[in-house]
Amino acid sequence: MNGKINTLLFDLDGTLIDTNELIISSFLHTLEIYYPGKYQREDVIPFMGPTLMETFGGIDVNKAEEMVAKYRAFNIANHDNIVTIFEGVYDTIKTLKENGYKIGIVTTKLSDVVNMGLRLTKLDEFFDVIVALDHVKNAKPDPEPVLMALEQLGSSPEEAIMVGDNSHDILAGKNAGTKTAGVAWTLKGRDFLASLQPDYLLDNMSDLLTILEVEVK
């Protein structure tokens, strides 16, 4: 292993699995019920990253829980038809696991939907720990979920990289004291992630293997 890094923490949506179209469709479906014709695709892209309660609460605090329920019902019903895995992810995660790295997921999704995505993309066998929204009091960018994952893995922040596609991921890693890596395939755009000054920018998940100097067998 290269240097002291022995732990990789990954966001899920938009980082490992391509849920972008599912998330956008779920937002548009939900908002069309309450605000017909008001929201377009480009309007909901900024909603990706925060928790659903934060997003819908910012639109209408009184109807937030109701909107979250409608979002989740649509999201789960359409999940397996829309979600795919990003190029290079499966082989990279498999290689990291085979080389003895500790790997975990830190996400703002609820654990039941996390498990759906991992099973669908056959990533479910690899992760040592999953910290989901229902496991923490404070979601990313608060350091709590990152620190919880590290504690469960027996790792320190100095030994870890937090990998994600959004500001919440990079800031959570920085707040917890890990190194950070942004993925250039983020829907927010490479320049947006670069502006957050992560330690690394990945054009393909396999770039991690180069950074860590892992020999691919």
Cα 147-87-172 angle, rounded to 5 deg: 20
Instruction: Give catalytic residues, as residue numbers.
Output: 11
pLDDT digits 0-9 by tens, 10-33: 999 999 999 999 999 999 999 999
Does the pLDDT at position 85 exceed 60? yes
Q: Walk me through the domains of the chain, giving residue ranges and CATH numbers.
A: 7-18+85-211 (3.40.50.1000), 20-82 (1.10.150)
pLDDT digits 0-9 by tens, 128-160: 999 999 999 999 999 999 999 999 999 999 999
Q: What pTM did the predictor assign?
A: 0.91
